[in-house]
Structure 1
Amino acid sequence: MRYWQNLRSRCMSLFLMIVGLALLGQSGAAASTRVYLVEIDGAITPVVASYVDRALRQAADQGAEAVVIQLDTPGGLSSAMDEIIQDILQSPVPVIVYVAPEGARAASAGVFITYAAHIAAMAPATNIGSASPVLIGQDGQAAQPDDTMQRKVVNDAVAKIRSLAERRGRNADWAEQAVREAVNISAEQAVAQNVVDLVAPSLPALLDAVDGRTVTTSAGQVTLRTRAAEVVPIQMTLIERFFQVLSDPNVAYILLSLGMLGLFFELANPGSILPGVLGGILLLLGLYALGTLDVNWAGVLLMGFAFLLFLIDLYVPTHGVLTIGGIVSFALGSLLLLQSPASPAFQLSRAVVIAVTATIAGVFLLLVYLVARAHARRPQTGKEALLGARAVVRRTLDPEGMVFVEGELWRARSLAGTIPAGRTVRVVGVEGLVLLVEPASEEEPAVRVRRLAGDVRRWRPLGALFRRG
């Protein structure tokens, strides 16, 4: 009897151990389930494409359950969009595109990326649409191609988005409308028309809703286990963040302007070194940023021509005319850059353009003012400083003699006949080492003397301001 009691006790213990190990294994599996989160907020650029590619490869290497791309974009470059779509289609890890947070949008390139996802979801109060392709000419302007070229571009985009829709079982007809007619719909309408799979108010709600769904990836069919999964954000690296900031057209415009300004001051005062080094670095960074965007290069050339005019005005006495022309050229170039991109994702801020143009104009107008003020000041040294000065005759001028002026004895020649010693005369000219004088009138205003002295001076180039020594 005791034997059977011991056997039953042992069996019960073994059963409880097996159940405990099973529960422990399940909890461990749940704890190890990870979903990677990628956030795209802004234009689709080559930096964003590189970021998504790195995140998907990392998720595959770490055995993530899924990757959620939280998307809020007005569109971007088609080349970067194509790279992201290819990465999603080739990913062995399920990719969920989630248009969020509330108020976000998936426009233009964002529509294609959403259609490429294994699961497409949207938050309430979001919208999707406007996927019409826009051709950009070599000058950065929205090009107006002929009908044949336009049909080729549109048909290519339609074929691409219809193939994505058919692959994911979504509404291909609406996708074609989004390309041909730039239509937009809300999140609720998108679900009703089978454009996206579901509406989720939050990321946890989204993961709960897609738990148990089966999708087909490049590795085969995968059943999602995302309920209560750990969300692991994948952030951009410092380098990616830096170059993403550079891809902002406003930042590129400011860098380009500051770079040109730094080079101007280096050329105006050779040997300063620091303005030249900083200007060169900023200019190269600005040109790199512009190279990743669809910009109007005519606007860039006008801005460069403006600084060329500023530089020429250093060495040519134009009374500031070239400076005024440079300011006009810079303003026109800025306006062309403002209007050049067809996509709103790459438009310059009007406030930034006005602020930078006003700053550049203020700097060079101040330089012109300083030059004008320097020229209006009476010379303090040299022969020019003697013009208009009063002198006392020490040896009778008949017509030549000696005069005492500014603490020195000078040879002088009278232009008004004989002038006896002791008389006061005024210097009206200099010939070599001989002063030309005439009798001074006590009633003659000093202003006329200063004006006469200033009349013989010449306007000097702007570069005189920067010369040292």
Structure 2
Amino acid sequence: MKLFCYIVVLLFTLPFEGRAQKVISITIDQAITPVTAEFIHRGIRQAEKENAQCVVIHLNTPGGLGTSMRDIVGNILDASVPVVVYVSPGGARAGSAGVFITLAANIAAMAPGTNIGASHPVSMGGGQMDSTEVTKVTNDAVALMRSIAQRRHRNEQWAADAVTHSVSITDEEALQKNVIDLIADNTHDLLQKINGDTVILNTGKVVLHTANATVEPVEMGLGEKILVVISNPNIMYILLLIGIFGVIFEFHSPGAILPGVFGVICLILSFYSMSVLPINYTGLALIIFAVILFLLEIKIASHGILALGGVISLLLGSLILVRTGPAVEYARISRSVIFTAVGITTAFFLFVIGAGLNAQRARPRTGVEAFSGETGEALDDIMPFGKVQVHGEIWNAESVSGSIKKGQKVKIDRIEGLKLYVEGI
């Protein structure tokens, strides 16, 4: 009996590392958007529900939306489970919004060959911020950064400089400057190094037991993956153009339905992408103006002038559609995509315009004009009146060049009413 009681007590007093532990793993390898924020929120909630030892966020981001970043920081600070942000793999970075997220973690780690920094705020609206607005936004970001650094006992001065001066440092420098807690070669190394660490949560202190923990990756759902894909600036641009040309085709051929419906769907998806990218409204206005010119070209015979203006407007608008810079280089539209799209547009309208000009120059095939210059055969002597056969039809005819014998070939000079005026050939 004593032996049984001893075994029971021993089982309940065994350290947690002796039991099967779980670590939730999340991978963020894109810009910070509302989709990213919701994904991280879901991962943290799952870790809390499953009583996981911690959540490890593998982070590689150039930055993103400030509102989404604040949502993620709030979720991390309020989490009832330890959150570890691990900037990885080698070559990864935590830029702009990624700096806030990394510093907000209970444990901040980086892989060798990674970097962190450059958090100066950038407007995601359509215009440039004036000096007063820049100052206000910067001060707000500095205050948030200092608050996070104070709470996690990290280097406040460097955190502020990352915002005000866009400083960026390597993993080794980050460790020396007390920006992060450790450097780990891989996930296994990370879990070994944080094993036994004490983390302070809102609910109290927690000791991590991760040495033998099972890593459970959490993947994005299909809907989240689709939203991440269309948030890519190149995909946004392609969807925008497909939507535009779908609508143009519907205007050109009313009742086709499918191009119009598909075009509107693409436009709506592109508008979602624009909501998470630093769109320049001047560029968007030029693209809209290009659409107007293309529609007018279809309705008005301008011999290509309107289409040429549309192509130029489309090119200029595409080049400045997304404002880029060191902090938002992830939002850059590939020049090859732009030039290819504009080239296809130009070729399309050259074809349309060429077809229109050829149609104007082509000889009429129906109506009164179609008979001018045609040939036929005299069915009887025309002196000067008689009958001729043209295209299998019999017409009353009058000669304009003297008498014409029966069976002689005739050429139509003109037609008036139901009478052909012909000459012998």
TM-score by length of 2: 0.91
- Residue 76 (structure 2) pairs with residue 88 (structure 1): yes
Deviation at 1:28, TM superposition (A): 7.9
1:28–1:120 CA distance, 2 compared to 1 (3 A): closer
On the 8 A contact 2:124/2:276 being kept in 1, the answer is: no
Could you tell which deviates more after superposition, 207-216 or 300-309?
300-309
SS in 1 for 2:320: helix
1:111–1:389 CA distance, 2 compared to 1 (3 A): same
1:130 aligned partner:
118
Paired amino acid for 2:267:
L
Could you tell which deviates more after superposition, 352-361 or 206-215?
352-361
Picking from 222, 242, 247, the partner of 2:206 is 222
| In structure 2, C-alpha distance between the alignment counterparts of 1:438 and 1:409, rounded to whole Å | 16
On the 8 A contact 1:246/1:289 being kept in 2, the answer is: yes
| In structure 2, C-alpha distance between the alignment counterparts of 1:101 and 1:77, rounded to whole Å | 23
1:405-420 superposed matches below 5 A: 405-414=390-399, 416=400, 418-420=402-404
- Residue 377 (structure 2) pairs with residue 396 (structure 1): no
Picking from 88, 94, 105, the partner of 2:93 is 105
Picking from 262, 286, 304, the partner of 1:278 is 262
CA deviation map 1:398-443 (0-9, x unaligned): 4x654333333323455x5534445544323333323344555xxx
1:386 aligned partner:
371
Paired amino acid for 2:153:
G
- Residue 414 (structure 2) pairs with residue 426 (structure 1): no
| In structure 1, C-alpha distance between the alignment counterparts of 2:255 and 2:396, rounded to whole Å | 43
Mark the runs of 5 or more structure 2 residues left unpaired by the alignment.
none
| In structure 2, C-alpha distance between the alignment counterparts of 1:92 and 1:194, rounded to whole Å | 24
Picking from 34, 38, 48, the partner of 1:50 is 38
| In structure 2, C-alpha distance between the alignment counterparts of 1:262 and 1:134, rounded to whole Å | 33
On the 8 A contact 1:36/1:231 being kept in 2, the answer is: yes
On the 8 A contact 2:279/2:323 being kept in 1, the answer is: no
On the 8 A contact 2:65/2:124 being kept in 1, the answer is: no
SS in 2 for 1:96: strand
Structure 1 runs (4+) greater than 6 angstroms displaced: none
1:309 aligned partner:
293
SS in 2 for 1:337: coil
- Residue 324 (structure 2) pairs with residue 336 (structure 1): no
- Residue 147 (structure 2) pairs with residue 159 (structure 1): no
Deviation at 1:374, TM superposition (A): 4.1
1:458 aligned partner:
none
1:6 aligned partner:
none
| In structure 1, C-alpha distance between the alignment counterparts of 2:136 and 2:249, rounded to whole Å | 49
Deviation at 1:159, TM superposition (A): 1.5
- Residue 56 (structure 2) pairs with residue 68 (structure 1): yes
CA deviation map 1:386-408 (0-9, x unaligned): 1211234444354x654333333
1:108-257 superposed matches below 5 A: 108-139=96-127, 143-146=128-131, 148-257=132-241
SS in 2 for 1:69: strand
Paired positions, count: 422
CA RMSD of aligned residues (A): 2.5
Deviation at 1:375, TM superposition (A): 4.2
Paired amino acid for 1:197:
D
Could you tell which deviates more after superposition, 48-57 or 285-294?
285-294
- Residue 244 (structure 2) pairs with residue 260 (structure 1): yes
| In structure 1, C-alpha distance between the alignment counterparts of 2:285 and 2:92, rounded to whole Å | 36
Could you tell which deviates more after superposition, 103-112 or 159-168?
159-168
| In structure 2, C-alpha distance between the alignment counterparts of 1:284 and 1:151, rounded to whole Å | 34
1:419–1:322 CA distance, 2 compared to 1 (3 A): farther
CA deviation map 1:72-119 (0-9, x unaligned): 010111111111111111111111110000000011111111111111
| In structure 2, C-alpha distance between the alignment counterparts of 1:67 and 1:419, rounded to whole Å | 105
CA deviation map 1:297-325 (0-9, x unaligned): 33233323333333333332333333333
Paired amino acid for 1:430:
I
1:30–1:357 CA distance, 2 compared to 1 (3 A): farther
On the 8 A contact 1:295/1:340 being kept in 2, the answer is: no
1:430–1:299 CA distance, 2 compared to 1 (3 A): farther
On the 8 A contact 1:30/1:229 being kept in 2, the answer is: no
SS in 1 for 2:24: strand
1:448 aligned partner:
none
SS in 2 for 1:435: strand
2:352 aligned partner:
367
Paired amino acid for 1:291:
S
- Residue 271 (structure 2) pairs with residue 287 (structure 1): yes
CA deviation map 1:326-366 (0-9, x unaligned): 22222222112254676112111112212222222223322
Picking from 14, 38, 54, the partner of 2:26 is 38
Q: Which is higher, the Rg of structure 1 or of structure 2?
A: 1
1:427–1:318 CA distance, 2 compared to 1 (3 A): farther
TM-score by length of 1: 0.83
| In structure 2, C-alpha distance between the alignment counterparts of 1:401 and 1:322, rounded to whole Å | 52
